[in-house]
Structure 1
Protein backbone atom coordinates (compact mmCIF):
# COMPACT_ATOMS: atom_id res chain seq x y z
CA UNK A 1 0.00 0.00 0.00
CA UNK A 2 3.02 2.24 -0.42
CA UNK A 3 1.94 5.54 -1.99
CA UNK A 4 -1.77 4.71 -1.60
CA UNK A 5 -4.36 7.49 -1.78
CA UNK A 6 -6.65 7.03 1.24
CA UNK A 7 -7.50 10.68 1.93
CA UNK A 8 -10.57 10.98 4.17
CA UNK A 9 -11.05 7.21 4.51
CA UNK A 10 -12.67 5.69 7.59
CA UNK A 11 -10.20 3.13 8.94
CA UNK A 12 -11.33 3.20 12.58
CA UNK A 13 -10.37 0.06 14.47
CA UNK A 14 -8.55 -1.36 11.40
CA UNK A 15 -5.58 -3.67 11.85
CA UNK A 16 -2.79 -2.21 9.72
CA UNK A 17 0.09 -3.55 11.82
CA UNK A 18 3.37 -3.90 9.90
CA UNK A 19 1.75 -2.44 6.74
CA UNK A 20 3.89 -0.43 4.31
CA UNK A 21 2.12 2.92 3.91
CA UNK A 22 5.24 4.89 3.11
CA UNK A 23 4.48 8.00 1.06
CA UNK A 24 0.72 7.36 1.32
CA UNK A 25 -1.85 10.15 1.52
CA UNK A 26 -3.87 9.55 4.68
CA UNK A 27 -4.74 13.17 5.31
CA UNK A 28 -8.13 13.70 6.97
CA UNK A 29 -8.35 9.94 7.54
CA UNK A 30 -10.11 8.49 10.60
CA UNK A 31 -7.87 5.90 12.26
CA UNK A 32 -9.20 6.11 15.81
CA UNK A 33 -8.62 2.85 17.68
CA UNK A 34 -6.67 1.33 14.77
CA UNK A 35 -3.52 -0.76 15.14
CA UNK A 36 -0.55 0.51 13.14
CA UNK A 37 2.04 -1.19 15.32
CA UNK A 38 5.30 -1.46 13.38
CA UNK A 39 3.79 0.14 10.27
CA UNK A 40 5.93 2.07 7.81
CA UNK A 41 4.42 5.55 7.42
CA UNK A 42 7.65 7.30 6.48
CA UNK A 43 7.05 10.35 4.32
CA UNK A 44 3.29 9.89 4.52
CA UNK A 45 0.82 12.78 4.44
CA UNK A 46 -1.07 12.39 7.73
CA UNK A 47 -2.17 16.01 7.99
CA UNK A 48 -5.32 16.41 10.12
CA UNK A 49 -5.77 12.64 10.45
CA UNK A 50 -7.45 11.29 13.60
CA UNK A 51 -5.22 8.80 15.43
CA UNK A 52 -7.05 9.00 18.78
CA UNK A 53 -6.28 5.93 20.92
CA UNK A 54 -4.36 4.36 18.02
CA UNK A 55 -1.44 1.95 18.50
CA UNK A 56 1.52 3.36 16.57
CA UNK A 57 4.14 1.71 18.75
CA UNK A 58 7.31 0.96 16.83
CA UNK A 59 5.95 2.65 13.71
CA UNK A 60 8.21 4.48 11.26
CA UNK A 61 6.83 8.02 10.98
CA UNK A 62 10.08 9.61 9.86
CA UNK A 63 9.56 12.68 7.69
CA UNK A 64 5.77 12.22 7.93
CA UNK A 65 3.46 15.26 7.91
CA UNK A 66 1.36 15.00 11.07
CA UNK A 67 0.48 18.68 11.19
CA UNK A 68 -2.82 19.30 12.98
CA UNK A 69 -3.23 15.55 13.50
CA UNK A 70 -5.21 14.30 16.48
CA UNK A 71 -3.07 11.85 18.49
CA UNK A 72 -4.95 11.97 21.80
CA UNK A 73 -4.15 8.87 23.82
CA UNK A 74 -2.14 7.36 20.95
CA UNK A 75 0.69 4.95 21.73
CA UNK A 76 3.82 6.10 19.90
CA UNK A 77 6.22 4.19 22.16
CA UNK A 78 9.42 3.37 20.31
CA UNK A 79 8.18 5.12 17.16
CA UNK A 80 10.59 6.81 14.75
CA UNK A 81 9.44 10.43 14.40
CA UNK A 82 12.72 11.84 13.09
CA UNK A 83 12.10 14.95 11.00
CA UNK A 84 8.34 14.52 11.43
CA UNK A 85 6.12 17.60 11.24
CA UNK A 86 3.86 17.63 14.31
CA UNK A 87 3.04 21.33 14.09
CA UNK A 88 -0.27 22.08 15.84
CA UNK A 89 -0.83 18.36 16.52
CA UNK A 90 -2.86 17.31 19.56
CA UNK A 91 -0.70 14.92 21.61
CA UNK A 92 -2.78 15.06 24.78
CA UNK A 93 -2.19 11.89 26.85
CA UNK A 94 -0.04 10.38 24.05
CA UNK A 95 2.65 7.85 24.99
CA UNK A 96 5.97 8.74 23.36
CA UNK A 97 8.10 6.51 25.58
CA UNK A 98 11.53 5.98 23.95
CA UNK A 99 10.26 7.58 20.73
CA UNK A 100 12.86 9.22 18.49
CA UNK A 101 11.86 12.84 17.82
CA UNK A 102 15.22 13.99 16.47
CA UNK A 103 14.76 17.12 14.30
CA UNK A 104 10.95 16.94 14.73
CA UNK A 105 8.77 20.04 14.59
CA UNK A 106 6.38 20.28 17.55
CA UNK A 107 5.65 23.99 17.14
CA UNK A 108 2.29 24.87 18.72
CA UNK A 109 1.63 21.19 19.53
CA UNK A 110 -0.67 20.48 22.48
CA UNK A 111 1.20 18.11 24.81
CA UNK A 112 -0.89 18.16 28.00
CA UNK A 113 -0.23 14.90 29.92
CA UNK A 114 1.91 13.43 27.09
CA UNK A 115 4.55 10.97 28.27
CA UNK A 116 8.03 11.67 26.83
CA UNK A 117 9.92 9.27 29.16
CA UNK A 118 13.28 8.35 27.60
CA UNK A 119 12.29 10.01 24.30
CA UNK A 120 15.06 11.36 22.07
CA UNK A 121 14.53 15.11 21.76
CA UNK A 122 17.64 16.21 19.88
CA UNK A 123 17.20 19.46 17.96
CA UNK A 124 13.42 19.48 18.43
CA UNK A 125 11.39 22.63 17.80
CA UNK A 126 9.21 22.91 20.91
CA UNK A 127 7.86 26.41 20.48
CA UNK A 128 4.48 25.76 22.05
CA UNK A 129 1.32 27.32 23.20
CA UNK A 130 0.22 25.54 26.36
CA UNK A 131 -3.40 26.20 27.17
CA UNK A 132 -6.54 24.46 28.26
CA UNK A 133 -9.29 25.11 25.73
CA UNK A 134 -12.02 27.19 27.31
CA UNK A 135 -14.97 28.94 25.77
CA UNK A 136 -14.18 32.19 27.55
CA UNK A 137 -10.39 32.20 27.46
CA UNK A 138 -8.27 30.68 24.71
CA UNK A 139 -5.07 32.51 25.50
CA UNK A 140 -2.13 30.56 26.83
CA UNK A 141 1.38 30.86 28.10
CA UNK A 142 4.16 30.85 25.53
CA UNK A 143 7.02 28.43 26.15
CA UNK A 144 10.05 28.25 23.89
CA UNK A 145 12.57 25.46 24.39
CA UNK A 146 15.53 24.62 22.20
CA UNK A 147 17.09 21.16 22.47
CA UNK A 148 20.42 20.60 20.74
Structure 2
Protein backbone atom coordinates (compact mmCIF):
# COMPACT_ATOMS: atom_id res chain seq x y z
CA UNK A 1 0.00 0.00 0.00
CA UNK A 2 2.84 2.34 0.86
CA UNK A 3 4.46 1.70 -2.53
CA UNK A 4 1.24 2.62 -4.33
CA UNK A 5 0.98 5.94 -2.46
CA UNK A 6 4.58 6.79 -3.33
CA UNK A 7 3.93 6.01 -7.00
CA UNK A 8 0.79 8.17 -7.00
CA UNK A 9 2.66 11.03 -5.31
CA UNK A 10 5.46 10.77 -7.86
CA UNK A 11 2.96 10.79 -10.73
CA UNK A 12 1.19 13.83 -9.26
CA UNK A 13 4.53 15.65 -8.90
CA UNK A 14 5.43 14.84 -12.51
CA UNK A 15 2.03 16.09 -13.71
CA UNK A 16 2.47 19.35 -11.76
CA UNK A 17 5.97 19.83 -13.20
CA UNK A 18 4.68 19.21 -16.71
CA UNK A 19 1.86 21.73 -16.18
CA UNK A 20 4.33 24.33 -14.87
CA UNK A 21 6.64 23.71 -17.81
CA UNK A 22 3.74 24.15 -20.25
CA UNK A 23 2.72 27.42 -18.54
CA UNK A 24 6.30 28.68 -18.70
CA UNK A 25 6.49 27.76 -22.38
CA UNK A 26 3.22 29.62 -23.06
CA UNK A 27 4.53 32.68 -21.21
CA UNK A 28 7.75 32.53 -23.24
CA UNK A 29 5.75 32.26 -26.47
CA UNK A 30 3.61 35.26 -25.48
CA UNK A 31 6.73 37.26 -24.68
CA UNK A 32 8.28 36.26 -28.00
CA UNK A 33 5.07 37.25 -29.81
CA UNK A 34 5.15 40.69 -28.15
CA UNK A 35 8.81 41.13 -29.08
CA UNK A 36 7.99 39.97 -32.60
CA UNK A 37 5.20 42.57 -32.85
CA UNK A 38 7.60 45.29 -31.66
CA UNK A 39 10.16 44.23 -34.26
CA UNK A 40 7.51 44.14 -36.96
CA UNK A 41 6.39 47.67 -36.04
CA UNK A 42 10.00 48.88 -36.15
CA UNK A 43 10.50 47.23 -39.55
CA UNK A 44 7.32 48.83 -40.89
CA UNK A 45 8.59 52.25 -39.81
CA UNK A 46 12.02 51.56 -41.29
CA UNK A 47 10.34 50.81 -44.62
CA UNK A 48 9.47 54.51 -44.86
CA UNK A 49 13.18 55.42 -44.87
CA UNK A 50 14.35 56.13 -48.40
CA UNK A 51 18.08 56.80 -48.69
CA UNK A 52 19.35 59.55 -50.96
CA UNK A 53 20.08 58.16 -54.42
CA UNK A 54 23.01 59.11 -56.63
CA UNK A 55 20.90 61.21 -59.02
CA UNK A 56 19.60 63.36 -56.16
CA UNK A 57 23.10 63.63 -54.70
CA UNK A 58 24.45 64.88 -58.04
CA UNK A 59 21.88 67.71 -58.09
CA UNK A 60 23.64 69.29 -55.10
CA UNK A 61 26.20 71.88 -56.29
CA UNK A 62 29.82 70.80 -55.96
CA UNK A 63 30.60 73.82 -53.76
CA UNK A 64 28.13 72.50 -51.17
CA UNK A 65 28.99 68.79 -51.57
CA UNK A 66 32.75 69.32 -51.47
CA UNK A 67 34.39 66.04 -50.39
CA UNK A 68 31.30 64.47 -48.82
CA UNK A 69 30.46 60.94 -49.94
CA UNK A 70 26.94 59.71 -50.58
CA UNK A 71 27.40 56.70 -48.29
CA UNK A 72 28.43 58.91 -45.35
CA UNK A 73 25.54 61.30 -45.93
CA UNK A 74 23.06 58.41 -46.00
CA UNK A 75 24.57 57.08 -42.77
CA UNK A 76 23.93 60.40 -40.99
CA UNK A 77 20.43 60.57 -42.49
CA UNK A 78 19.63 56.99 -41.38
CA UNK A 79 20.95 57.69 -37.87
CA UNK A 80 18.76 60.78 -37.53
CA UNK A 81 15.77 58.82 -38.83
CA UNK A 82 16.38 55.95 -36.39
CA UNK A 83 16.63 58.41 -33.51
CA UNK A 84 13.34 60.01 -34.60
CA UNK A 85 11.67 56.58 -34.55
CA UNK A 86 13.20 55.79 -31.16
CA UNK A 87 11.94 59.00 -29.54
CA UNK A 88 8.66 59.14 -31.47
CA UNK A 89 9.23 62.56 -33.05
CA UNK A 90 11.84 64.69 -34.77
CA UNK A 91 13.65 66.26 -31.85
CA UNK A 92 16.84 68.25 -32.42
CA UNK A 93 20.02 66.20 -32.07
CA UNK A 94 23.26 67.85 -31.03
CA UNK A 95 26.25 67.40 -33.31
CA UNK A 96 28.26 66.17 -30.33
CA UNK A 97 25.80 63.31 -29.91
CA UNK A 98 26.29 62.36 -33.56
CA UNK A 99 30.05 62.55 -33.08
CA UNK A 100 29.76 60.13 -30.13
CA UNK A 101 28.14 57.68 -32.57
CA UNK A 102 31.33 57.84 -34.67
CA UNK A 103 29.77 60.04 -37.35
CA UNK A 104 31.94 62.84 -38.68
CA UNK A 105 29.95 66.07 -38.49
CA UNK A 106 32.76 68.48 -37.64
CA UNK A 107 35.51 69.77 -39.89
CA UNK A 108 35.23 70.58 -43.58
CA UNK A 109 33.94 67.18 -44.66
CA UNK A 110 31.48 66.95 -41.77
CA UNK A 111 30.15 70.42 -42.49
CA UNK A 112 29.80 69.45 -46.17
CA UNK A 113 27.64 66.46 -45.16
CA UNK A 114 25.41 68.65 -43.00
CA UNK A 115 25.26 71.30 -45.75
CA UNK A 116 24.26 68.67 -48.33
CA UNK A 117 21.41 67.36 -46.15
CA UNK A 118 20.35 70.95 -45.50
CA UNK A 119 20.40 71.79 -49.24
CA UNK A 120 18.16 68.79 -49.92
CA UNK A 121 15.78 70.08 -47.21
CA UNK A 122 16.14 66.91 -45.17
CA UNK A 123 17.46 68.57 -42.02
CA UNK A 124 17.32 71.94 -40.35
CA UNK A 125 20.39 73.36 -38.61
CA UNK A 126 19.67 75.13 -35.33
CA UNK A 127 22.54 77.52 -34.67
CA UNK A 128 21.69 78.29 -31.05
CA UNK A 129 22.86 74.97 -29.65
CA UNK A 130 24.69 73.50 -32.66
CA UNK A 131 22.10 70.83 -33.35
CA UNK A 132 20.26 69.42 -36.34
CA UNK A 133 16.64 68.36 -36.71
CA UNK A 134 15.07 66.04 -39.25
CA UNK A 135 12.40 67.94 -41.19
CA UNK A 136 10.37 65.05 -42.61
CA UNK A 137 9.28 62.39 -40.17
CA UNK A 138 7.59 59.95 -42.53
CA UNK A 139 6.10 56.94 -40.83
CA UNK A 140 5.93 58.49 -37.40
CA UNK A 141 2.62 59.07 -35.71
CA UNK A 142 2.27 62.71 -34.88
CA UNK A 143 0.74 63.52 -31.55
CA UNK A 144 -2.56 65.32 -31.77
CA UNK A 145 -2.59 68.69 -30.13
CA UNK A 146 -5.27 69.22 -27.56
CA UNK A 147 -7.60 72.07 -28.29
CA UNK A 148 -7.56 74.77 -25.71
CA UNK A 149 -10.92 75.75 -24.37
CA UNK A 150 -11.65 79.15 -22.98
CA UNK A 151 -14.01 79.02 -20.07
CA UNK A 152 -15.12 82.23 -18.50
CA UNK A 153 -15.10 85.20 -20.89
From the two aligned structures, give the one with the greater helix fraction. 2
Which of the two has higher C-alpha Rg? Answer: 2
Q: Which has the higher contact order (CA 8 A, sep 6+)?
A: 2
- Normalised to the residue count of structure 2, the TM-score between the two structures is 0.21
